[in-house]
Structure 1
Amino acid sequence: MPDLDTEFLFDLVVDLHPRLDIGDGPFGRRILFGASGGSFEGPELRGGLEAGGGDWALFRPDGAMALDVRLTLRTHDDALIHMTYGGRWVVPPALRADLAHPVKRHQVDPTRYYFRTTPLFETGAERYAWLNDIVCVGSGYVVEAGIAYKVWRVR
C-alpha cells in the first residue's frame, strides 16, 4: 500500500457574521459561525463564497471544537459547488483567551494550535465534476475577516 500523497487545491477565506450562541446542550456548547462571503483560489478553480452557509460548531467540555461546516462556492465561471467538512480545532488552554480576543485572535501563530478539516464537494457542473470524487484535507487558521484554510486533494 503506497503512502498518501497530497496536491494543493486552493486557499479559502470565509468571512463571518457575528456568532450566534445556541447554548449548552447535551454534547457541549453549540455556536453558529455564519458565513457572510469570502473567496477561494487555486490552480484549477477560483471564485467566491455565497452567504448563508456556516459552521455549526460544537465546543466540547474538554475545550476542543468539533466543526460541522456547509458552504456554497461560486466559481469565476458561475458554477455552484456544495462544500462540506468536519474537523477539529484543538487550542491549548494558554492560547484560548488570545483566540477569543477580537484583535489578538488573528495574530496567534497557527502552528501553536491544531485546526484540521476534511472537505468534500458536490456539484452538477460538468467542468468541475471531478470534485465529486475526491477527498481533501485542510489546515485552518484565523484571519481578520474570519477563518482561512489551505486545502489539499488527497491523491
Structure 2
Amino acid sequence: MASDSRVKVVGEIKTAHLFDMIVDLNPRLSFGSGPFGRRTLFGAAGGSFEGPKLRGEVLPGGGDWALFRPDGAMALDVRLTLRTHDAALVHMTYGGRWITPPDVRSDMADPVKRYQVDPAHYYFRTTPLFETGAEQYAWLNDIVCVGSGYLVEDGIAYKISQVV
C-alpha cells in the first residue's frame, strides 16, 4: 500500500478468552432452496457456557437461521438467550461463516464421521455481540468478540474471545 499520511500506527488486535459454550441442537428444519440459497434452522435446545467472568446456561428457543450458499459456504445468523448463574439474561447474536473444503465435505455429511473431523480442516468463525440490562454484566454491551466453532455430539461448541 502506498504511503498515506492518514494511516495511523495502531496496536495489534489482541483477544482475551471470554467463555466456552456448547449449544445443544434440536433436529434441523429446512426451509428449502430460495433465491439466496438453502435456508435451514438449527434450533437451540439448551446448552451451557463458562468463562472467567461469567457462566450459565443457553436457554432453548434461539438458533441459527443458516444459509447454505450455492458455493458450499454457510452464512450464519444466530440469536441466543443466555442466563447467567445469577439469573441475568443476556441476548447474544452473531453472524459468521462456516467454510468446508471439498475434500472433507463427505466426512462432514456423515453422521458418525462429522465429529471426528479436526476443526483445523474447516473454517468456522463468528462475531458475537451482546445486549443486557443487568448492571453486573453491562460491560458486555460495549465489547466485540470473535469465536471459533466446532462440532460436538448433538450440538455445536464455541471458543469465544473478547477483542481487547
Tell me the TM-score normalised to structure 1 length: 0.99
Query: Structure 1 residue 130 and structure 2 residue 139: aligned?
Result: yes
Query: Structure 1 residue 81 and structure 2 residue 90: aligned?
Result: yes
Secondary structure, aligned partner of 1:115: strand
Q: Which amino acid aligns with 1:97?
A: S
List aligned pairs for 1:61-80, cutoff 5 A: 61-80=70-89
List aligned pairs for 1:107-146, cutoff 5 A: 107-146=116-155
Cα distance, 1:99 vs structure 2: 1.2
Q: Deviations over 1:45-92 (max 9, x none)?
A: 000011000000000000000000000000011000000000000001
% identical equivalent positions: 75
Gaps of 5+ in 1: none
Secondary structure, aligned partner of 2:97: strand
Query: Structure 1 residue 52 and structure 2 residue 61: aligned?
Result: yes
Secondary structure, aligned partner of 2:148: strand
Secondary structure, aligned partner of 2:87: coil
Larger radius of gyration: 2
RMSD: 0.6
Q: Which amino acid aligns with 1:11?
A: D
Runs (4 or more) in structure 1 with deviation over 6 Å come to none
Residue among 27, 35, 40 paired with 1:26: 35
Cα distance, 1:94 vs structure 2: 1.6
Secondary structure, aligned partner of 1:98: helix
CA distance, structure 2, for counterparts of residue 48 and residue 97 of structure 1: 33
Gaps of 5+ in 2: 1-9
Q: Deviations over 1:14-38 (max 9, x none)?
A: 0000100101000000000000000
Secondary structure, aligned partner of 1:99: helix
Number of aligned residues: 155
Q: Deviations over 1:110-147 (max 9, x none)?
A: 00000000000000000000000000000000000210
CA distance, structure 2, for counterparts of residue 112 and residue 121 of structure 1: 29
What residue in structure 1 maps to residue 7 of structure 2?
A: none
Secondary structure, aligned partner of 1:30: strand
CA distance, structure 2, for counterparts of residue 100 and residue 10 of structure 1: 28
